[in-house]
Amino acid sequence: MMISNWRISLLLVALLLNTCEATATQNTVCHGQRVMIHFAPGVDVARPGFKAGLLRDAGVPLDYMRPLFDDYYLYCAGLEGQASSLDEVLERLQGRPDIRAVEIDRINRPQRKE
């Protein structure tokens, strides 16, 4: 009976890990350039209308991917077919008073093919 409980426990752990992996990788595919944005303390990125202002200032599609740590968030800048260069986008975003820093996410991680 002890072996059966061990196998059941192992199966449950494997199922939980698989579920966590699917959730964690849900928003990690970026077909543009991944950009890290450090917002000033107290900025609510979930506030209604916040994303519209961010998109307007960026001048390119900008998709929220996930929080990183503290006030850092990961976004995906869609540059395909856009007249703006990445440097121009970063400069425009850096000009916002609620943004402390903007930089390219240089960590190369293999992305899952879908």
- CATH code of 50's domain: 3.30.70
The answer to whether residue 110 is domain-embedded is no
Q: Is residue 47 part of a domain?
A: yes
pTM: 0.67
Q: What pLDDT does residue 100 have? A: 96
Count of the separate structural domains present in the chain: 1
Whether 22 is in a domain gets the answer no
pLDDT of amino acid 36: 94
Which structural domain, as residue segments, surrounds residue 91? 29-104
18 within some domain: no
14 domain-assigned: no
Question: Strand, coil or helix: what is 96?
Answer: coil
Long-range contacts of 39-43 (CB under 8 A, 24+ apart): 39/71, 39/72, 39/73, 39/98, 39/99, 39/100, 40/71, 40/97, 40/98, 40/99, 40/100, 41/71, 43/71, 43/98
Q: 58 near 50, Cβ under 8 Å?
A: no
Kindly state whether residue 37 falls inside one of the protein's structural domains: yes
Domain-embedded: residue 77:
yes
Per-block mean pLDDT, blocks of 10 residues, the chain (114 long) = 63 59 56 91 89 91 90 88 79 94 78 52
Task: Report yes or no on 6 lying in a domain.
Answer: no
